[in-house]
Amino acid sequence: MAVKGLGQLDQVYDGSNLRIGIVYARWNRTIIDALVEGAIKRLQSLGVKEENIILESVPGSFELPWGVERFVQKEFEKGHRLDAVIPIGVLIKGSTMHFEYISDSTTNAIMSLSSKLNTPVIFGLLTCLTEEQALARAGIDEGKTMHNHGEDWGAAAVEMAVKFGY
């Protein structure tokens, strides 16, 4: 018996009527730029118009939750509802516990945003132990060992907006 919905696992969703926000942190900029580019590329491949992809930045990943919350509210107040938002940040472990505290607090805060804003908020935070891990997940390491995770986030934003949006 076919399990209902499984066939949707690789379904392509039409983003042509969607307005998507991307809020990126400005730490580890080379990696961030690749991830943002990957998300935009996938959004456009799913039909999201260039003028409907709205970019904003914050100083670092710690500012992402509040920045995303205010970004969505300000766009709504301007009459431009966002159908989904992709926060993008790159945290790389240093020699202190800073990484752990920001990773944990920011992840939990981002997780609660979708319900709080009634808008799909995608988890676009890389929490890496080494720079090499982050480069690989942005698809820009030497050996091109992984795909650009920004593309996954773009696809998730379109799917969540089409399936559960207004």
Nearer to ligand LMZ, 52 or 61 (CB): 61
Nearer to ligand LMZ, 13 or 27 (CB): 27
Summary count for the chain: helices (H), strands (E): 5, 4
Task: DSSP for 90-140, please give it.
Answer: EEE--SSTHHHHHHHHHHHHHHHHHHHHTS-B--EEEEESSHHHHHHHTT-
Give the nearest distance from C-beta 115 to ligand LMZ in angstroms: 23
Give the nearest distance from C-beta 71 to ligand LMZ in angstroms: 16
Spatial CA neighbour of 131 closest among 40, 29, 54: 29
**SS3 of 118, please?**
coil
The two tokens of residue 43 are 């959004």
Nearer to ligand LMZ, 15 or 21 (CB): 21
The closest residue (CB) to ligand LMZ is: 60
Catalytic residue among 80, 98, 147, 149: 98
Q: What are phi and psi of 14, to 5 degrees?
A: -90, 115
Footprint on this chain of ligand LMZ (rule: CB under 6 A): 25, 27-28, 59-63, 89-92, 98, 102
Active site residue 80: no
Nearer to ligand LMZ, 19 or 137 (CB): 137
- Point out the residues that are catalytic: 98
